[in-house]
Amino acid sequence: MGEQLEDQEHGVEPARPPLSEARAQELTAGPREAMDDVRRSVAVLAARVRDAHAARIWVPLGHTSWESYCATEFGISRAQAYRLLDVARALAAIHDAVTADPETSRTRVSDPGAAAALDYGLSQRALIAVSGRTDAAADIITRRLAALAHSGLQALDAPAVRTAVRQVVRDVRTAPPPAPAEPPAEPAVAALRAVVDDLAACSHQLGELMLEVAPAYLSDTEAADILALLCEEIGEPLEHGLAARRYALTGDRRALNGTVL
C-alpha cells in the first residue's frame, strides 16, 4: 500500500492490463489511417508546388528567385522545395504509366489534383530515390501491368496496381543497370568488361549508402558537407563517394567517369 502511494506521488502510472491482439489491431488502425492521409496530402502539395515552379510563379509576385518565393510564401527551404518537386515528378511519371493503356488502367482520373492524391503506398524517400530514373520505372510499370492484364490470372484492381507499382519502385531503387546483353567475343575485353561491371555494381551499393546519409534532394555541395566524415571513416575519397551517389541517383555509369572508373 505504501509503495502504491509513493508511486502515485511521483506520477508513476499504474501497470496496465495487457492488450488483446484485437485491441492492438484497433489501436494500430488509427495511426495507419493518419499516415495514409499525410502521404496523400504530401502528394497533392507536391503536385501544386510543381505547377507553381513550372509557371515561374515567383516572377509576377516580385520574388527574385524560386528559393526566395518558397521561403517567403511557405517558410520552406530550397532543399525542401526541390524535394517536393522530386516527389511530384516521380508520382506524375508513375501515374502516367499506370494510365497509359485504358485496358490496364483502373485508376484513370482527369483532374491533376486527384491524380496526385492516388495513393500507391510509396514513401517520400522511395519517390525521391527513383525521381532520377522515372523513365525506367515508368517503362517497367507499363510492361508489368500490361502483362498482368493480358494474362487474366489476376484482377487488375486498385490493390493489384498498387502492389505492382510498389514492387517496381523497389526494384528500380535497389537494382543497378543491367549488364550488356551480348558480351564482347574477345576474352580479354570480356574479362575487362566483367571487372568494370563488378566495380560499377559495388559503386552502386556505395551510392545507395551515400543516399541513406545525404538524400537525393541535396545538391553535391550540400551532400559533400554531410558525407565528408563518412567517407573519411570508411577510407573512401569524397569524390568517389559523391560520384557513386550520382550513379545511384541516375543509373548512368558516366557519373563514375574520372573517379571510380
For 207, residues 6+ apart whose C-beta sits below 8 A from its C-beta are 244, 245, 246, 247, 248, 249
Q: Same domain for 91 and 195?
A: no
H or E segment to which residue 140 belongs: helix 134-151
Kindly tell me the burial class for residue 170, based on how many C-beta atoms sit within 10 Å of its own C-beta (0-12, 13-18, 19 or more).
middle
3-class secondary structure, 106:
coil
Grid cell, residue 120, equals: 500507391
Q: Same domain for 63 and 117?
A: yes
Which whole-number Å values give the CA distances from 235 to 24, 238, 239, 240, in the listed order? 46, 9, 12, 10
Overall size of the chain counted in residues: 261
pLDDT for 60 equals: 94
Domain of 247, in residue numbers: 187-256
pLDDT for 107 equals: 44
Q: Same domain for 191 and 157?
A: no
Residue from 251, 254, 255, 252 nearest 241 by CA: 255
* 25 domain residue, yes or no: no
Picking from 139, 174, 209, the residue at the C-terminal end of a domain is 174
How many Å apart are CA 99 and CA 191, to the nearest integer?
A: 43
pLDDT for 149 equals: 76
Q: Same domain for 127 and 214?
A: no
Q: Same domain for 166 and 200?
A: no
Picking from 125, 141, 174, the residue at the C-terminal end of a domain is 174
Q: Same domain for 127 and 170?
A: yes
Domain count, the chain: 2
How many Å apart are CA 65 and CA 160, to the nearest integer?
A: 42
Q: Same domain for 168 and 245?
A: no
* Chain mean position to CA 48: 18
Picking from 174, 208, 226, the residue at the C-terminal end of a domain is 174
Q: Same domain for 132 and 65?
A: yes
Residue from 63, 141, 56 nearest 97 by CA: 141
End-to-end CA distance of the chain: 73
pLDDT for 24 equals: 80
Name the DSSP class of 256. G
pLDDT for 142 equals: 86
> Hunting for cell 530514373 — which residue is that?
133
Residue from 164, 162, 90, 96 nearest 127 by CA: 90
Q: Same domain for 83 and 138?
A: yes
For the full predicted model, state whether its pTM sits above 0.85: no
Mean pLDDT, 10 residues at a time, the chain of 261 residues: 51 67 81 77 82 91 90 86 86 86 49 51 83 86 80 70 86 68 67 81 83 80 88 87 84 79 67
Residue from 228, 257, 230 nearest 244 by CA: 257
How many Å apart are CA 146 and CA 99, to the nearest integer?
A: 11
* 1 domain residue, yes or no: no
Grid cell, residue 103, equals: 485496358
